[in-house]
Amino acid sequence: MDPNTQFDYCAIRPCADDKKSSHLLNPENVVFDQCGKRNERIEARARIVGGRPGNSPWTVSIRNREGVHFCGGSLVKEEWVISTRLCFSSCDADLTGYYVLLGTLFKNPGPNDPNKQAIPIIKIVCGPSESLVVMLKFERRALLNQRVALICLPPERYIVPENTQCEIAGWGSTGGTGNENVLNVARLPVMNNQNCSVALKGRLKENELCTSPLKVGVGACEGDFGGPLACLTQECWVLQGVITPLRICARKDVPATFIRISMYV
């Protein structure tokens, strides 16, 4: 895989003023605008596997023709979402009737939910070979408000500092720890790639990043795949990773791996 290969779209660019290729170890010179902001007072009373209450206004629910949630995604432009290729049968999948649901904390919101937005998906764009990243384009632009917000994209090849506290979010299985009908959020600390590679016996790829395993068993599970690993940088939330399937949910002894988005911006 060539990490310099670009997506075959031009609608999305990083929300940073620094356009130079970088291998940053700290975020002091990174400036974000028009993304990564949320109303911290909005909370959901539920839990991801071992997680805590929270909200994530850039997390979208991807629905099939029957309206059933099957994966998550991250809103990076009003008409574009980033998710994972593992949620779809192929890069040529027929997504007629598929749509995204935004603006609600609930997996199955009622008909009178005033904030929900259901928008058809009209295009799927796969990233570079072996990247496992996909872009989904909407039929129309999402309306941004306190329940729907854009998440920032990182600078090119940005490295998240070790022990940075990041968040995962989704409507997936909670393993009996909470209400799966509500958007759930959990905090995970970033693990440096050298230590993660040792823990995974050398199986870590350059386009992946890790979070440390926690003794309480916190992590993503089925239904969360494609959703964000969001990290706070300069008071803005940045999409640093994408959730991918794990053999066992929320393992206490093995780091969790994510697609590293800074390889593809």
* Choice among 15-19, 97-101, 147-151 with the minimum mean pLDDT: 15-19
Letter string b/e over residues 130-154, b meaning 16 or more CB atoms within 10 A of that residue's CB: ebbbbbbbbeeebebeebbbbbbbb
Residue-wise pLDDT for 136-191, tens only, equals 999 999 999 989 999 999 999 999 999 999 999 988 655 554 566 788 888 889 99
Please state the rounded mean pLDDT for residues 75-101: 95
Q: What is the bridge-based pairing of β-strands 228-233 and 208-211?
A: unpaired
Residues 189 and 250 in one domain: yes
Give how many domains the chain has, as a whole number.
2
Segments forming the whole domain that contains residue 222: 164-263
21 or 258, greater pLDDT: 258
Of residues 33, 31, 37, the one with CA closest to residue 145: 37
| Interacting residues of 164 by C-beta distance below 8 A, sequence separation 6+ | 189, 190, 231, 232
pLDDT at 175: 52
Residues 105 and 172 in one domain: no
Residues 173 and 256 in one domain: yes
Residues 177 and 133 in one domain: no
Q: What does pLDDT average to over the chain?
A: 79
Judge whether 183 lies within some domain: yes
How would residue 11 be classed by pLDDT, with cut points 50, 70 and 90?
A: very low
Residues 205 and 127 in one domain: no
Distance CA(124)–CA(10), nearest Å, equals: 14
Please state the rounded mean pLDDT for residues 210-220: 65
Spell out the long-range contacts of 106-112 with Cβ–Cβ below 8 A and sequence spacing 24 or more: 106/181, 106/182, 106/183, 107/61, 107/69, 107/171, 107/180, 107/181, 107/182, 107/183, 108/181
The answer, yes or no, to whether residue 13 has pLDDT greater than 70, is no
Given a contact cutoff of 8 angstroms between Cβ atoms, the answer to whether 127 and 207 are in contact is: no
Residues 173 and 129 in one domain: no
Judge whether 123 lies within some domain: yes
| H runs (alpha helix) in 167-240 | 193-199
Distance CA(248)–CA(228), nearest Å, equals: 19
pLDDT at 203: 85
CATH of the domain at 259: 2.40.10.10
Name the amino acid, one letter, at 1.
M
The answer, yes or no, to whether residue 221 has pLDDT greater than 70, is no
Lookup result for tokens 């660019």 = 13
Residues 209 and 256 in one domain: yes
207 or 41, greater pLDDT: 207
The answer, yes or no, to whether residue 106 has pLDDT greater than 90, is no
97 or 2, greater pLDDT: 97
Judge whether 14 lies within some domain: no
